Structure 1
Amino acid sequence: MRFPETPLVLLHAFPLDHRMWDEVRPGIAEHIELITPDQRGFGDASLGDDEPDLATVATDVIDRLGGRRVVLGGCSMGGYVAMAVLREAPELVAGLLLVSTRATADADAGRANRHAMASRIEEEGPGFVPDAVLPTLLGSETTDRRPEVVAAVRTLVSEQDGAAIAWAQRAMAARPDSSEILRNSDVPTLIVRGEQDTLIPAEEADALAALMPKAEVVVLAGAGHLPPLEVPEQFTGAVARWLE
């Protein structure tokens, strides 16, 4: 399988920005043109005044593509946006790279947690967010053995705008189930999950793969929810093998 003249667009996780791909950028760029945009309100992207909806973020991506067909990838929230793009403009998606993400909508408890964080940010500010999200974002092996990764993720989270974090939480809480969209897609798909990911356990990655006839799953040892930051060499190798 090859994607000649087809760029790879990678959409970052919540609550980070395009810099989450920095460690894997050189290796992946040897194989394919790589584009890593910031999403609504994160990094250098403006938030605007739209109501929280991942379809709005998908429209941003579609507009940026300008009709160009791409391999579309995303980690966690970025995966949700990739599925929203597939829903709105399937003709632009030549392949999917889904990292630490799921097709299903949030359960009631998950939605409640997202809205609670958004409300707390508006009441207190975002200072508590790094401590709130780090334990679930990173696997125990990363936390124990790679303090520099923990520090890098903490910095990325702490530099994001609180209004964007609250907006994204509400947008993710409102997202629809994408199972049928994926079931009706026949594009080649690589699904990547960290072995220690407590947010996306093995059965969810397998269920995601089962929806798609051309999907394969790669499990990366020593990684939690953010494999590109935790095990960049493993992640780069997995993506390069899939592309080539």
Structure 2
Amino acid sequence: MRFPETPLVLLHAFPLDHRMWDGVRAGIAEHIELLTPDQRGFGGTPLGDDEPDLAAVATDVLDRLNGRRVVLGGCSMGGYVAMSILRQAPEQVAGLLLVSTRATADADAGRANRHAMASRIEEEGPAFVPETVLPTLLGTETHERRPEVVAAVRTMVSEQDGATIAWAQRAMAVRPDSSELLRDTDVPTLIVRGEQDTLIPPDEADALAALMPKAELVVLAGAGHLPPLEVPEEFTGAVARWLE
């Protein structure tokens, strides 16, 4: 396989951490340098005292890269951070891998739901979060046939700090629309969505692919919102073929 010499950065989904990439790490890292940083507050990293804004998370990642040019990937919230990095430092982005994410900002209802979860966490703690997000994070097939994946995601969510989850929800609620940014981007892009994803409808993934001049869309059967966890072999194969 002919992989680029630039590293591949994979940014995790909400409300998980770098462990969501464990099932694909070996298959990808065998051929390309792989970086999977925890985003602000997740995985035990410091949250800091900034106002909620994904631009701050993007700055964190850029600081760790020290000016290196990378292939930049993100799942869900990680995709939003990738777009913010592209906005801040387009010269450092050699390619994009956008998984289970969208270019548009939240509609009013979506923003209200994010703020409601953040407020509830502050009032009663984050114990309710795993069972609230699990039904939509994973596809039907995963819930029915892969109990080990459901258990792993439940554990990962339950181990995140409540203040971090609330901060991230508010940060995603104020993210800008990135449609024009992506329309003007000429880097090679792979867009991946799970066939059973209920958070990012098929028409949104199709619209994202149509928006970008050098985008390829891959749909993975048997996966919901978290293909790297639900169908790791298929996800790794799709990424490897694209990088080649």
Q: TM-score, normalised by structure 1?
A: 0.99
Considering only aligned residues, what root-mean-square deviation do their CA atoms show, in Å? 0.9
Q: Aligned partners of 2:177, 2:31: CA distance in 1, in Å? A: 32
Partner of 1:29: 29
- Superposed displacement of residue 44, structure 1: 2.9
Specify the SS of the correspondent of 2:68.
Answer: coil
Partner of 1:72: 72
**What is the one-letter code of the residue matched to 1:12?**
H
Specify the SS of the correspondent of 2:218.
Answer: strand
- Superposed displacement of residue 4, structure 1: 2.9
Residue deviations 1:5-30, cap 9 Å, x none? 20000000000000000000000112
Q: Is the CA contact (8 Å cut-off) linking 2:44 and 2:160 kept in structure 1?
A: no
Partner of 2:160: 160
Partner of 2:87: 87
Partner of 2:106: 106
- Superposed displacement of residue 46, structure 1: 0.7
Specify the SS of the correspondent of 2:44.
Answer: coil
Q: Aligned partners of 2:65, 2:45: CA distance in 1, in Å? A: 16
**What is the one-letter code of the residue matched to 2:200?**
I
Aligned pairs for 1:1-244 (under 5 A) are 4-244=4-244
Structure 1 portions without partners, runs of 5+? none
Q: Aligned partners of 2:48, 2:2: CA distance in 1, in Å? A: 37
Percent identity, aligned pairs only, is 88
- Superposed displacement of residue 137, structure 1: 0.1
Specify the SS of the correspondent of 1:23.
Answer: helix
Q: TM-score, normalised by structure 2?
A: 0.99
Q: Aligned partners of 2:125, 2:95: CA distance in 1, in Å? A: 39
Q: Aligned partners of 1:90, 1:213: CA distance in 2, in Å? A: 16
- Superposed displacement of residue 3, structure 1: 5.1
Q: Aligned partners of 2:98, 2:25: CA distance in 1, in Å? A: 17
Q: Aligned partners of 1:33, 1:12: CA distance in 2, in Å? A: 17
Specify the SS of the correspondent of 2:128.
Answer: helix
